[in-house]
Amino acid sequence: MAKSVRVGLLGLGTVGTGVVSIIQRHQKELQHQVGCPVEVVKVAVRDKTKARNIKLADELITEDIEEVLSDPEVDVIIEVMGGIDATKNYITRALQQKKHVVTANKDLLALHGAELLKVAAENGCDLFYEASVAGGIPILRSLSDGLSADRITKMMGIVNGTTNYILTKMSQEGSSYDDVLKQAQELGFAESDPTSDVEGLDAARKMAILASLGFSTNVSFGDVSVRGISEVTEADLYYCEQLGYTMKLIGLAKRDDGRIEVSVQPTLLPNAHPLASVHNEYNAVYVHGEAVGETMFYGPGAGSLPTATAVVSDLVTVMRNMRLGVNGQSVLVPLHEKVLKEATEIESQYFLRLNVIDKAGTFSTITSLFAEYEVSFEKLLQLPIDGEELAEVIIITHKTSKENYENLYQRLTNVEVVDSVQSSYRVEGGK
């Protein structure tokens, strides 16, 4: 093995700065782990003049990515610059030049992960991406190594810290969505354009990666059913609490008899469920395997050093593989053909909030509709609305198929006794 492993870095933002910091500060520990030093020999940035709170020699920093990709001295490329199309090209070229790659780019992997892993295998290179899901939580390594002997049947988790922070504050403080979003932006937990987070897109990309690895199949971003939290109201959260539930933006990947479903949506969890107690910007992933049963992984889902720790852990794995001469051999081709469930095969409970005409016969009409679509009540609240000839009805259903529930929902929006359907959410973790 070489006297040192030489690293080229694409990007020196929040995560890139953390990576350099860990490599510099933990050099003794890294050498102990892999038996040789680690050197950052070239870093590509957009603007060399930008002030950064990290010390790097000027000659190591370049605005020309080609200097990093084509440098024969670089053994490993660490990509933390983001982007999709151009970045895919950079990573492909690096792998074709026999350079190993570590990336934190969930957007790229959710769209092109299978293709890039194929290129890595063809060139005998490692491509690792632990930091792309749940920041500092080692969930991907746990699936690929620690739980590799098991058959994973379900993964359910909070994989976006921004939305978890917003829902936590709305629930605990009774604040509106808009007020908490503004607060999250001021604290740096949400971007100025929060769409990717609050509409569930960020979480969906992560769930595509988790499902692909956990189920050994090629799940893409387009296979994930997505709904965000922007329509969640204080009233929804109040009634959740009254009925003994907590709302979270939940990513769910479930496999039954080889058929899978993957979704991201606001979901009610019983207060006793482990994920219900995960608050603020923290992430957690709940995994069920046929042999191990239930396990949960919890920790910070983002931030410079937690995410950088996952990146450097992947770097350590690359270096160990270099020492053993087994680079590229851990890339696994998907074992199973992807078969997505139909709406008739997806079963869940649901929360439904209606404003109905407060008169005799209304409840009989609603009950008849539920019976027609074979949906039954588990819990029910009915409250008059002050000053109006309306009542609010809040229902938790028993398990039913997605198809039956969606058909029922459409009928309820058109029936005369229902003034409006206020909200509807999935319920998990119950009977």
Q: Would you name the residues annotated as active-site residues? A: 206
Kindly write down the DSSP assignment for every residue of 182-239, as one continuous string.
Answer: HHHHHHTSS-SS-HHHHTTHHHHHHHHHHHHHHHTS---GGGSEE--STT--HHHHHH
Q: How many CB atoms lie within 10 A of CB 262?
A: 26
How wide is the angle at C-alpha 277 spanned by C-alphas 237 and 354, nearest 5°? Answer: 20
From 195, 264, 258, select the one nearest 223 (Cα to Cα). Answer: 264
User: What is the spatial distance between Cα 145 and Cα 317, in angstroms, rounded to a whole number?
Assistant: 12
Terminal Cα-to-Cα distance of the chain (whole angstroms): 56
User: What is the spatial distance between Cα 91 and Cα 109, in angstroms, rounded to a whole number?
Assistant: 11
Q: 211 with 219: CB under 8 angstroms?
A: yes
Could you list the beta-strand ranges (E) of 21-175. 38-44, 61-62, 76-79, 100-103, 127-128, 152-158
Q: 307 with 131: CB under 8 angstroms?
A: yes
Kindly write down the DSSP assignment for every residue of 292-333, as one continuous string.
Answer: TEEEEEEEE--SHHHHHHHHHHHHHHHHHHHHHT-TTTT---
Q: How many CB atoms lie within 10 A of CB 336?
A: 12
Query: Each residue of 215-247: b (16+ CB within 10 Å) or e?
Result: bbbbbbbebbbbbbbbebeeebbebbeebebbb
Could you list the beta-strand ranges (E) of 45-198. 61-62, 76-79, 100-103, 127-128, 152-158
Q: 81 with 65: CB under 8 angstroms?
A: no
